[in-house]
Amino acid sequence: MAPMVNDPHTYFGQWLPRRSALLQELEQEAQKENIPIVGPVVGHLLYLLARLSGARRILELGTATGYSTLFLAQACRHTGGRVVTVESSAAMAERARHNFQQAGLAEYVDLQVGEALSWLQPAEGASSPLDMVFMDIDKAAYAPALPLCAQRLRSGGLLVADNTGFQDAHAFNTLIHGHPDWEMVNLWMFLPGHSPEMDGLCMALRV
């Protein structure tokens, strides 16, 4: 086998996507305050996945300061879509709202303060099915959220679940693996700037 790069963490740590001053400010803020954000690589991956799939109806569960939302909103600027993002902390939501305005992306975001699981329940009068869900809430809530995501996503829609390397995500990992509603991969990866930098990321297609 041909030789691999030395020290892949340092090597791949240098190839971070270019990003705005605001996103870099939010990364520093997250580090200082221990706010678990997805970081630039997963953020950019979300942007690419949303653009590649032409997602117009995106739901994000877990907003925090709106860092990951900004990548999805940036994709919506191209797809003509909108991100609904749900956050249980009113204080966090307020910070996120400010950041959406600062980024000039507020028109692509619908911020909802509340509990993600109740928000996921299918609405009376059936709202349009979703193209993409990004799940980044308490990991113990992933398993109960999964059947609701299956109900809300259209066939061919995309689910991305962050932090599947956490013990609390085990029930979710077990449930989705081989489930007939989903075609999925669960990757264990080095994710520079992600909280934490070695973690699992699950991507699944709604069958």
120 interacts with ligand SAM by CB under 6 A = no
Q: Which is nearer to ligand SAM, 137 or 153 (CB)?
A: 137
Binder among 23, 37, 160, 202 for ligand SAM (CB under 6 A): 37
The three-state secondary structure class of 123 is: coil
103 interacts with ligand SAM by CB under 6 A = no
67 interacts with ligand SAM by CB under 6 A = yes
Minimum Å distance from CB 57 to ligand SAM? 18
Q: Using an 8 Å Cβ cutoff, are 161 and 135 in contact? A: yes
199 interacts with ligand SAM by CB under 6 A = no
Binder among 74, 88, 164, 173 for ligand SAM (CB under 6 A): 88
Of 205, 204, 129, nearest in space to 162 by CA = 204
Of 168, 199, 195, nearest in space to 186 by CA = 199
The answer for residues whose C-beta is within 8 angstroms of residue 164's C-beta and 6 or more apart is: 142, 172, 173, 186, 199, 200, 201, 202
Pick the piece of the chain touching ligand SAM (CB under 6 A) from 84-92, 103-111, 148-156, 165-173.
84-92
136 interacts with ligand SAM by CB under 6 A = yes
Binder among 13, 17, 36, 200 for ligand SAM (CB under 6 A): 36
DSSP run (H or E) holding 146: helix 142-152
Is-cis flag, bond preceding 3, omega within 30?
Answer: no
Binder among 116, 149, 201, 204 for ligand SAM (CB under 6 A): 116
149 interacts with ligand SAM by CB under 6 A = no
Helix axes 67-79, 39-52, angle to 10 degrees: 20
> What is the contact surface with ligand SAM in residues (CB under 6 A)?
36-38, 62, 64, 67-68, 86-89, 92, 115-117, 136-138, 141
